[in-house]
Structure formats: C-alpha cells, structure tokens
Chain A
Amino acid sequence: MIQTVDFFTPVVDDPYTFGQIAAANALSDVYAMGGEPKVALNIVCFPNCLDVEILGEILRGGADKVKETGAVLVGGHSVQDDEPKYGLCVSGFVHPDKVYKNHGAAAGDVLILTKKVGSGVINTAVKGGMASAEAEAAAVAVMSRLNKTAKRVSEKYTVHACTDITGFGVIGHCCEMAEASGVSLELYTRSINYIEGAVEYASMGLVPAGAYSNMGHRQDQVEKGGIEDVYEDLLYDPQTSGGLLFAVPEEEAEDFLRELKEAEPDGGACIAGRALPKGEKLIYLK
C-alpha cells in the first residue's frame, strides 16, 4: 500500500482549476511509485470571509480528478484558515515487486520526461499580469493533467528508476535520482520541452524565488557547461504537478517514447538525458 499527502495554496485564480491541479499533484506521488490510487480524502483550509461556493468549486475540481483516476473520494477534513489551501491524502496499491523507486538508474539508461517544464515561471508571469492567455492555458493544461497515462504506458517497459518532478525542479529531482542510484546524469537541455512562453518569461527575469533556492542547494553538484542561463533557470524552476521522469534501458527508450507520444500527442514527452557512470558532478547539462 502507498500512502501519501500533499496540499498547497492556490496557484491559479479559478477555484475549479485549482482543485484539479492540487488533486493531480497529490495523486502523482502514487503514480511515481508505480501504483494506482484507490481512496482519497480531501484536506481543506478555507477562510470564513470567502464565499462557500468557491470552496464548492475547489472540491468539485478535486473530485473530478479523483474520479478520472478511478479512485473514490470518501470524505476529508476542513479547518478555518486565513488563506485557502487544498490537497488530498491518497492511498494506492502496487505489487511489491513492481514498486518504482527513485534509485536503480544504471549507466547507459535513457531518461524520459513525460511533461513540459516551466510551470513555476509561467505562474510567476501570471501573478505579475505579464503572461499571455495562451501561456497560462498551456501551463494549466500541464499542471492539471494526471500522470495516470504515462504510468500506464510505463507498465510494459523496464523501469529502472522513476520520480515525479515537483518543487525541487528537474535538476533537484535528477540529483536525488543520481545520488540514490550511484550514477551521474546528463540532461539534454534543448531536447526537453518547455511550456509555451516559459523561455521568454524566464529570460525577462520572471524566475520564482524557489528556482534560486533550488539552484543554491544544488549548483555545486551541477556542471553547467556552455548552456544559456535561461535553460539552467528553467531546470531549477519548481514545478507544480510536473511529469514523471523514468530511467529505462536504452534499447527500450525509443518504443517507450513513441508510445507515450501516441497516448498523449500534446503531452511534451521527450528524451531528457542519459545516465552516466558516476563522475565528479551529479548532473552534466548539455
């Protein structure tokens, strides 16, 4: 059995969309471990000065996402708070032999990332009123999408390691995988797909504080090489409800990626890098 909990403050204005994103984010932990969500409970903080219909919309968004997974929402708990917060406590199941771990990546493995990157940057631009409607919609589509399909596709393949990309950004979560696996990872910064507008907004300095703190924690373990600053910023950008990152044997990578693209044509799945024998640094940006 897998048990997980996650909740956060609104990342978008629309309450229904916020509910969807928070639920997709909480449910992702189960998929990242190779499991299927079965039962969920709401966790709600809500101020009494706001219209209760807003809360209804948040819960409706969350319930719709839980329904999409095939799990059941059986209740939850709410408290009064100054700022709204929402998330889920999720229970799921996985066969003990089929648990995905964040360790086990072997030198030569190919890294496959299943979603586009840059939601933290776009959310910062939205907050500043500087994002286009297209970029905002693209980020919402990424954040509210379940990792369900990507996990289903992965079941046919040999998954050496898996993690979901969230608050520590692509580099932070890759560092964890590299450390735990005893390998180094090279990341192909130009092969990774970025959400529409993310490169432009990161270039303009709409980089959230969290990206800089992620960088502060990990930059000594990263060889930046000659890549442009903007791609480094985006790979440290904290992701909300980001994709799954798989380490799979090289001979399976092409078929796996093709099948991911067939299942989610606009999903942004890509070959993000490769595992190398352990080097001086954990991560090499290419």
Chain B
Amino acid sequence: MGIAAILFWFLSALTIGGAIMVVASKNPVYSILYLIITFFAISGHYVLMNAQFLAIVNIIVYAGAIMVLFLFVVMLMNLNAESEPPQKKRYLFFAGVVAGCSLMLVLVAALKSSSSQIQLVQMGSGDVGLISNLGKVLFTDYVFPFEISSVLFLSAMIGAVVISKKEVVHPE
C-alpha cells in the first residue's frame, strides 16, 4: 500500500467521520467546526488528485468565508445545545435515518457492478488542475459565465441587505 492509498483512506475516514459528527452533534458551534474539518479533508482529496486550484479555492471560499459566516450567525443568535429545537416525534427521526440509508443502499447496489470500476483516477500527476491551465480555460472559453457570476454576486449582496434590513413600521 503506497503513500497515496494510505492518505486516501485517512482522508476518507476524516471526511465521513466529520460529516457524521456534523449531523450528530447537539451544539451548532461543534457542527460548524466538524464541517470545517470535513472541508479540509475534501481539500486534501483535491490535493491528492493534483487539483491544486480547487483545493485552494475550497479552503478560501468554504472553510474561510462561508464557515466564518455560519459561525458569526450562530454566535450572534447565541445558539447552544440547550436552545436546540427538540425532535418531538421519535418516529420522524427514525424515518429520516431509514430513508437516507435506503437511498444509500439502492445506489450502492446499482453502482457496485458498474463497468466503470476498472477506470483509475489519476493521482499526484497530470497538469489539469494547475492554476495556469484552469486560468487559461476560465478567461478564454468561460469568460462570459465568469462575468455573469459577478452580476450574480451583486444581486446576492443586494438581496441579503434587503432581506436582513429592519422593517420600518409606519404608525397609522
């Protein structure tokens, strides 16, 4: 077993364990911290597949910006394990778990005998994911969607400001 295989299994265990703890932990702050661990493990997977640009973007955007936003919101609301809304109906909880596990069972059964299992993922080599290649593709073929995404960000920013603005109540 080579170093790439050991790293793959370690990062996979970290990813799945972090994802389970996101769902299982009572305190939302702990959930967010476990989600950050999961995102770092996924970034490790990207590095292992030599997709370096996506690994960096994943860390900057997800672990850096989005998770800090979540953490700010949770801390502003002062949420903890006591303020967690209780799941009153136990059968709904078990129904959710059974539904998710059934979906996983069906997909595993459908995919385990697929013909793609002989295909190998190229690890640690290949220059596809390097910044120079992706930048060339992004700024030649995909420059129009790239500029459109700036409009999307502008509208998202305006939308967030409008939604979270305090409503002025006019006295009659």
Partners in one complex: no
